[in-house]
Chains A and B, each alone.
Chain A
Amino acid sequence: GNSVTQMEGPVTLSEEAFLTINCTYTATGYPSLFWYVQYPGEGLQLLLKATKADDKGSNKGFEATYRKETTSFHLEKGSVQVSDSAVYFCALKSGNQFYFGTGTSLTVIP
C-alpha cells in the first residue's frame, strides 16, 4: 500500500541553523511528492512539490529532491528563521488518493 513516514518531532533549532526533516514513502506506481506547511491556527499551504524521480522542488529557501532509489523526499533549508516555525507535512499523491505524514513541528528560537 501507500504510506508516508516522516521524522518525529518536535524539532527545535536556533535561528540560521541548517534544517533537515526526513521523509520516506512507500507507493505503488509513480507518485507525486509534496511538502506542506501549517502555521499556527491556519490550514495547510503547499510549500513545494516534485512529480518525478530526481526532480527538485524549491520554495522560500526550502528544497527537497525526489529520490526513487531511497524512496525519500527530505526537506532541507540552509538557514532557518523564526518565521519558519510551523508544522511540516510530507505527502504523496498516487492515482486519486492522497497520503500525509504525521507532521513534524519545528520551532526556531532567536
Chain B
Amino acid sequence: DSGVTQTPKHLITATGQRVTLRCSPRSGDLSVYWYQQSLDQGLQFLIQYYNGEERAKGNILERFSAQQFPDLHSELNLSSLELGDSALYFCASSVRDLDTDTQYFGPGTRLTVL
C-alpha cells in the first residue's frame, strides 16, 4: 500500500459525459501527478501540481482539467468523453516538486467509456 488513494476504482460512463477522478496523496506529500495508461498509447504523463499550483503539463487534452485543493487532494476532470478516453488513470504523489524517483503511485481508476 503506497498511501495514495484514488476513487472510484472503476467508472463506467457513456460518450459525451463528464467524470471526476479523485486522488488523496500520502500524508505530507505536496506534489500530485496524473498519468493515463492506455493500451495503444502506453503510460503518459498528464499534469502535475505542487502545493496547489500547476507545475508541469504533459499530453493533457483540452477536454481534461485538474486542480489541487488546499487540503492537497486533487481532482482530474474529464469532459466530452470519447471512446478513446477509456484507460487506467493513475495518480502519484511526492514530497518534493517535480520529483521522479520518489513518486508513490496509487492503485488507479479504471475508466470505461461506452
Once the chains bind, are A34 and B2 in contact (CB under 8 Å)? no
Residue B102 lies at the interface, judged by CB distance under 8 Å to chain A: yes
Chain A residues contacting B43 (CB-CB under 8 Å) are 44, 89, 100, 102-103
Chain B residues contacting A100 (CB-CB under 8 Å) are 35, 42-45
Chain A residues contacting B2 (CB-CB under 8 Å) are 43, 45
Select B101's contact among A49, A99, A101, A102, beta carbons within 8 Å.
A49
Residue A32 lies at the interface, judged by CB distance under 8 Å to chain B: yes
Select A45's contact among B58, B98, B100, B105, beta carbons within 8 Å.
B105
Interface residues in A, total, Cβ within 8 A: 20
Q: How far is the CB of B29 from chain A (nearest CB, A)?
A: 14
1/0 contact string of A9-42 vs chain B (CB within 8 Å): 0000000000000000000000010100000011
Select A93's contact among B100, B104, B108, beta carbons within 8 Å.
B100
Take A96-B55, A96-B98, A97-B58 as given contacts and tell me if A46 and B103 are in contact as well, using a CB distance cutoff of 8 Å: yes
Residue B56 lies at the interface, judged by CB distance under 8 Å to chain A: yes
Chain A residues contacting B42 (CB-CB under 8 Å) are 100-103
Residue B92 lies at the interface, judged by CB distance under 8 Å to chain A: yes
Residue A91 lies at the interface, judged by CB distance under 8 Å to chain B: yes
Alpha-carbon distance between A32 and B43 when the two chains are bound, in angstroms: 17
Select B45's contact among A32, A34, A42, A99, beta carbons within 8 Å.
A99
Take A97-B45, A100-B45, A103-B42 as given contacts and tell me if A42 and B100 are in contact as well, using a CB distance cutoff of 8 Å: no
Once the chains bind, are A49 and B100 in contact (CB under 8 Å)? yes
Most buried by B among A89, A98, A100: A98
14 interchain pairs, CB-CB under 8 A: A34-B101, A41-B107, A42-B107, A44-B43, A44-B92, A44-B105, A49-B100, A49-B101, A91-B100, A98-B45, A99-B45, A100-B44, A100-B45, A101-B42
Which residues from chain A sit less than 8 Å from chain B, CB to CB?
32, 34, 41-46, 49, 89, 91, 93, 96-103
The 10 closest A-B pairs by CB, nearest first: A43-B105, A102-B42, A96-B56, A100-B43, A98-B45, A93-B100, A44-B105, A49-B101, A96-B98, A43-B106
